[in-house]
Structure 1
Amino acid sequence: MEQREVPGDAVMTRIGQAIMLLHAGDREEARNRFGVIWSEIGERGEALHRCTLAHYMADTQDDPGDELAWDLRALTAAEGLTGAMVTDTTARHRDTDAVRALVPSLHLNLAEDYMKLQRFEAARLHLDRAWNAVGVLEDDGYGGGVRAALGRMEQRMRGSAPGEGA
């Protein structure tokens, strides 16, 4: 997800710094920093913060069950923001738009988590939800990347479902 930082948003800045560590290959330090931020904001923090942090914290996990738990937290935060009444504030609209653009990726991640856990029906459900949400994506690098990843996941699922061979 491309970071759309609100000027003066120190929490998002810190999350972004941890994401840079993750992308540079330092999963352990990124996980530690995400953990500190999560302990500060927790389940009651701003939805965009919780969603972004949980989305990337999932990528730092070694255990598929832990990864699933963080991806579910990210989706719960996203649903809380996108399903809530949107006020007139510009920041709230920006947050909602940012999270809506993340929803297909959140469902894709959940499909991948469930595939790792060999829970094929749940994986199929989330892959379908990802495809249903893909219309909110722009025709840019991010949108194209998510669509391509969905296509690859679709192919993997066809080869992994019970009773189907590759």
Structure 2
Amino acid sequence: MTDDTMTAIATAMRAGDRQRLLELWDRIGVAGDPLHRCTLAHYLADVHDEAAESLAWDIRALDAADTLTDERAQRHDGALRVRGFYPSLHLNLADDYRRLGAFGPARRHLDAARERVADLPDGDYGELIRAGIEHVATALADGSTERLPTH
């Protein structure tokens, strides 16, 4: 069965249409389907240049993931496991905090991403997140608050 909301989210993200993504967020609401909220907040974080705005959306994505079940995720895609979302979610939060100069929280989220790296799938996506962890770790070690070119 097609999930029209997930299709609309993906279409708006591919187009880089922040306004449409925000309209979808308004429609879904803060108590809406956790898969929709997690996916949409994750994408909204990516379309904001300001680290503080990205942080707010990444926190919403993590909160939604905490209420998401494997059963719900697998109704969308049978291969999805919620635990596999966490390395990326924590990586994004680590990068947001790093960009804001909040190095303590950045390290804690980077550690959380590393602790869950075994939950990543093999293949391109898993390698992308693993590489991202190393890029953020290097920037954090350097005390950099600059936006990473790989973000």
Partner of 1:49, secondary structure, is helix
Aligned to 2:75: 91
Q: Contact 1:48–1:77 (CA<8 Å) still a contact in 2?
A: yes
Equivalent residues in 2 for 1:64-143, closer than 5 Å: 64-82=51-69, 91=75, 94=78, 97=81, 99-143=82-126
Identity %: 42
Amino acid at match of 1:91: R
- Inter-CA distance 73–158: structure 2 relative to 1 (3 Å threshold): same
* Structure 1 residues not aligned, in runs of 5+: 1-6, 23-29, 162-166
Residue 32 (structure 2) aligns with: 45
Deviation at 1:43, TM superposition (A): 0.9
Letter in 1 for 2:91: L
Given that 2:55 and 2:97 are in contact with CA atoms closer than 8 Å, whether structure 1 keeps it comes out as yes
Query: d(CA) in 1 for partners of 2:21 and 2:28?
Result: 10
> Which residue in the other structure is 1:3 paired with?
none
**In structure 2, distance between residues paired with 1:130 and 1:157:** 14
Corresponding residue number in structure 1 for 2:149: none
Give the corresponding residue for 2:9: 15
String of CA shifts for 1:129-150, please: whole Å, max 9, x gaps: 0001111111200001110111
Task: Point out the structure with max Rg over C-alpha.
Answer: 1
What's the TM-score once normalised by structure 2's chain length?
0.86
Q: So what's the TM-score if we normalise by structure 1?
A: 0.79
> Equivalent residue of 1:160, what SS?
coil
Q: Distance in 2 between matches of 1:34 and 1:88?
A: 21
The CA deviation at 1:95 is 8.5
Moved over 3 A (4+): 86-90, 92-96
Residues 152, 38 of structure 1: alpha-carbon distance in 2 compared, 3 angstrom cutoff: same
What CA deviation, in whole Å up to 9, does each residue of 1:33-78 have, x standing for no partner?
1111001001111111100000010111132211110000000000
Amino acid at match of 1:32: Q
The aligned amino acid for 2:101 is Q
Q: Root-mean-square deviation (CA), in Å? A: 2.2
Deviations 1:94-139 (A, max 9, x none): 4861x33221111111001001110000000000000011111112
Distance 2:7 2:139 in 1: 35
